[in-house]
Amino acid sequence: MTGLFSSAGHKNARPAGVLVLVLILLLLTGCATTPQLSPATRQALPSQAFNESVPFHGQRKYQCGPAALAMSLAAGGREVSVDTLIPQVFLPDRQGSVQPEMLATVRRHGLIPFRIEGEFAALLDELAADHPVVVMQNLSLPAFPQWHYAVAIGYDLPAEELVLHTGMTPRRSVDFARFNATWARSERWAFVALPPGELPAGDNLDTATRAIADFEALNGSQAALPAWQALAERHPHAATVRFALGNARHAGGDAEGAMAAFREAVTADSEFAPAWLNLGLIASEQGRLDTAREALSRAAALPGPWQSRARQEQQALETENAP
């Protein structure tokens, strides 16, 4: 965005192994409860969903993260080998992959990672929309975590089973209760990876805005433009989204489209000073002096870090166009 304002060791472990294993299994079983879905949610969801297009990559020891990413990226149209992804996300000292690197790697390969709400219904909504979901689980106890990434690819609502690509097993069916217990230990961390222009089934505006903004910071405004356009269509009265759309259009040389987006932003929020300022700047560039004067005047009247810039531009406009 050129020239415009931007918002800124255990003793006796082997002899006790069988006893410990039995104890863990009992504890895991005891805490597994079926997640509750409202009647409205059950009625809205199709009884079954399954995404056959998600390829399977076996998850070798400590490399479930790269394999899960390879599956998710391929489903979004980005074919990347597991071996290519290993050095991008695998941390040897951690013997695994951490969440920020997982998300950053998705962005580097041209997809947008959208975090989903930590509710079981939200997970099913994405699967019903044909979006594979990368999920993080703790397959052990909270005190002795065994972190694992899997890819949810479908569900069977009557059977109360989730379908996962996990470990060395493709299309593994896991009952809702068992999965939910292991997912809850990661605070239900999950995301979908989608091409710019495609949005998650979930309708959380703030989450989507942050996801697209993070993608744009890495890949540029032109790459993010389809995503902003799609989000603006879904939320036509969201001033911040219209503002971001205007900036992306301006970066691509579309002055008319940018002005239209900034007008829509100030229509949605008449005190959105940065949008007034950017509208005034572009109108001035285009020689539309009446529009520029009005927009800069509105921006200059509103307090904030943009006020001094607006007043400077207002003065410069009058000086340049003095009789």
Q: What's residue 143's pLDDT?
A: 80
CATH number attached to the domain at 42-194: 3.90.70.10
Residue ranges of domains in the chain: 42-194, 205-320
Q: What's residue 275's pLDDT?
A: 98
- Cα gap 267→197, rounded to integer Å: 24
Cβ atoms of 53 and 75 within 8 Å: the answer is yes
Q: What's residue 14's pLDDT?
A: 33
Tokens 């890495």 belong to residue: 218
| Sign of the alpha-carbon dihedral angle for 298, 304, 310, 315 | positive
Cβ atoms of 251 and 2 within 8 Å: the answer is yes
90: helix, strand or coil: strand
Confidence of residue 274 (pLDDT cuts 50, 70, 90): very high
Cβ atoms of 194 and 76 within 8 Å: the answer is yes
CATH classification number, 205-320, choose in 3.40.50.1820, 1.25.40.10, 3.40.50.2000, 3.40.50.2300 = 1.25.40.10
pLDDT, tens digit, 9 for 90 and up, residues 36-63: 899 999 999 999 999 999 999 998 877 8
Query: Quick one: average pLDDT of 287-314?
Result: 96
Mean pLDDT (the chain) is 89
CA angle 59, 120, 149 (to 5 degrees): 15
Helices of type H across 52-133:
64-75, 82-89, 99-108, 120-128
Confidence of residue 322 (pLDDT cuts 50, 70, 90): confident
Residues paired with residue 114 on neighbouring β-strands, in sequence order:
192
pTM of the model: 0.88
Confidence of residue 91 (pLDDT cuts 50, 70, 90): low
pLDDT, tens digit, 9 for 90 and up, residues 133-183: 999 999 988 788 899 999 999 999 999 999 999 999 999 999 999 999 999
